[in-house]
Amino acid sequence: MDIEVLGALAVKENGVSITPTAPKPRQVLALLALHADQAVPVSTLIEELWGATPPRSARTTLQTYVLQLRELIAVALEKDAQDGTEDGGRQRTAKDVLMTMPSGYMLAAGGGQSDVRTFERLAGTGYRAMDAGDFPDAARHLREALALWSGTAFADVQAGSQLEMEIRRLEESRLCALDQRIEADLRLGRHRELLSELTVLVNRYRTHESLHAQFMLALYRSGRRGEALEVYQRLRATLVRDLGLEPSAGLRRLQRSILTANPETAPAAPSTVKERLVPTS
- Helix 225-243 × helix 209-221 angle, to 10°: 170
Quote the pLDDT of residue 91: 79
Instruction: Look at residue 264 in the predicted model and tell me its pLDDT.
Output: 46
Domains and CATH numbers, the chain: 8-107 (1.10.10.10), 113-188 (1.25.40.10), 191-281 (1.25.40.10)
Rounded to two decimals, the pTM is 0.86
Amino acid at the residue 272: T
What is the predicted pLDDT for the residue at 260? 87
Predicted local confidence at residue 78, as pLDDT: 85
pLDDT at 276: 43
CA dihedral 247, 248, 252, 257 (to 10 degrees): -140
Burial label for 186, CB within 10 Å (0-12, 13-18, 19+), is: buried
**How confident is the model at residue 84, as a pLDDT?**
53
Q: Edge to edge, what strands does the sheet with 10-13 contain?
A: 2-4, 10-13, 16-17
- As averages over each run of 10 residues, the pLDDT of the chain (281 residues) reads 96 93 96 95 96 94 97 87 54 91 93 94 97 97 97 95 96 96 96 96 94 95 94 96 93 91 52 43 35
**In this structure, which amino acid lies at residue 210?**
S
Q: What pLDDT is recorded for position 82?
A: 52
Rounded Cα gap, residues 202 and 150, in angstroms: 20
Say which amino acid occupies 69: L
Q: What is the per-residue pLDDT for 261?
A: 76
